[in-house]
Amino acid sequence: MSGATTVAYLARRAAQKEKVRILYGCALKDILNWAVHRHLFYQDEDLDTVDKMIAAGEATYNKWRHPDPYIN
């Protein structure tokens, strides 16, 4: 790979990473539009339920993790 090709490749990858970062930020902000009145749900807080949901999420994540990851 020549120097110019390498520079073009790295510039393209950097632009892609920046677009993904921006898209992720926009998605996080857009989530707030789906629950405008979050204060209505605060009274339903149940720490045991939250713990169960976190455990279920972690179990799902661990189930689908790659068995031999490249990056630890």
Listed in order, strand segments (DSSP E) in the chain are none
pLDDT-above-70 percentage for the chain: 94
- pLDDT score of 72: 61
- pLDDT score of 2: 77
Q: Which two tokens stand for residue 63?
A: 């189930």
- 24-58 pLDDT, tens digit each: 998 888 887 877 777 777 777 788 888 998 999 99
Tell me whether residue 46 is in a domain.
yes
Tell me whether residue 24 is in a domain.
yes
- pLDDT score of 36: 75
Tell me whether residue 40 is in a domain.
yes
pLDDT category at 14 given cuts 50, 70, 90 is very high
**CB-based contact 9:1 (threshold 8 Å):** yes
| Domains: count for the chain | 1
Domain that holds residue 12: 3-64
Tell me whether residue 37 is in a domain.
yes
Tell me whether residue 70 is in a domain.
no
Tell me whether residue 71 is in a domain.
no
Tell me whether residue 28 is in a domain.
yes
Task: Report the C-alpha gap between 29 and 25 in whole angstroms.
Answer: 6
Task: Report the C-alpha gap between 58 and 47 in whole angstroms.
Answer: 16
pTM of the complete model: 0.48
